[in-house]
Chains A and B, each alone.
Chain A
Amino acid sequence: MLVLSRKPGESVVIDGRIKVKIVRLDGDVVKLGIEAPPDIPIHRQEVYDEIQQSNRQALQSKPAAAPKLKEPKSKDSISDRQNVETAGLAA
């Protein structure tokens, strides 16, 4: 891995078209500004990893039959589900 030292306000240029600027230091948080062509997706690593893993698990190598979705009863029952799940994640 290439490691460069930069001060706030300084930048690095990648491939002549991607600019990564150190915008601000705030305690142990570094704010980055990134300028890149719109066709270059930029993601936070942990979100990228999570969605990538989910996509890999979702890939069906031999298309199966779709399941049947239960008719949504009411808005409340759905948000209850979501709350339960959120609580589960936080625990």
Chain B
Amino acid sequence: MSTLELTEMECMQVQTENVILMPSGLLGFEDIKRFILLTNEEEAPFSWFQVLDDPSLAFLVVPPFDAVPDYQPEISDDDIKYLGIKKPSDALMYNIVTLRSGHATVNLKGPIVINRFTLRGKQVVLQNATKYSVRHPLPLANSGEF
């Protein structure tokens, strides 16, 4: 086995350990349950929520508090219990970004919430969802350049 193959194997192992399990999938994509979060510094604060079993499919996501400082998501007790979240710092939150003809919007109604310890996640519908848009405009620095 060559060094390169070994490295790839190691990468795969790392990825498997970081698989985020979404037992209910995403709304409209209920059959896709396993994701990995790909983050690199150059694309901060964005990350890719990559479908594990199909590397050509991914969602662009952003931690909402970076993009929308006054965001106040309310998560239901049932969802908190379902995800096994004991305190706010147990949870990671990412919101899905839509890119279209130079504009970016973010879904503030249905964030992805992940238990950072179990890596179990769910796209929740906020208790205060009516307050927020699924297409909240994101201020871009390079609008029109992608």
Contacts and interface: CB of A to CB of B under 8 A. Distances in A.
A53 B133 CA distance: 13
Interface in B51-69: 56-60, 62, 66-69
B27 interface: yes
Interface residues of A, number: 38
Contacts of A70: 139-141
A86 B62 CA distance: 22
Given A59-B59, A64-B99, A51 B107 contact: yes
Interface of B: 23-24, 26-29, 43, 45-46, 48, 50, 56-60, 62, 66-70, 78, 81-82, 96-100, 104, 107, 109-110, 122-123, 125, 129, 133-143, 145-146
A81 interface: yes
A6 interface: no
Given A47-B109, A69-B141, A58 B27 contact: no
B56 A58 contact: no
Interface string A20-38: 0000000000000000001
Contacts of B70: 75, 78-79, 82
B74 to A, nearest CB: 14
A51 B146 contact: no
15 contacts: A53-B134, A54-B110, A58-B99, A63-B50, A67-B99, A67-B104, A67-B146, A68-B140, A69-B46, A69-B67, A69-B138, A70-B139, A78-B68, A78-B139, A86-B133
A79 B46 CA distance: 21
A57 B104 CA distance: 11
Contacts of B98: 54, 57-58
A4 interface: no
Interface in A37-66: 38-39, 41, 43-44, 47-48, 50-66
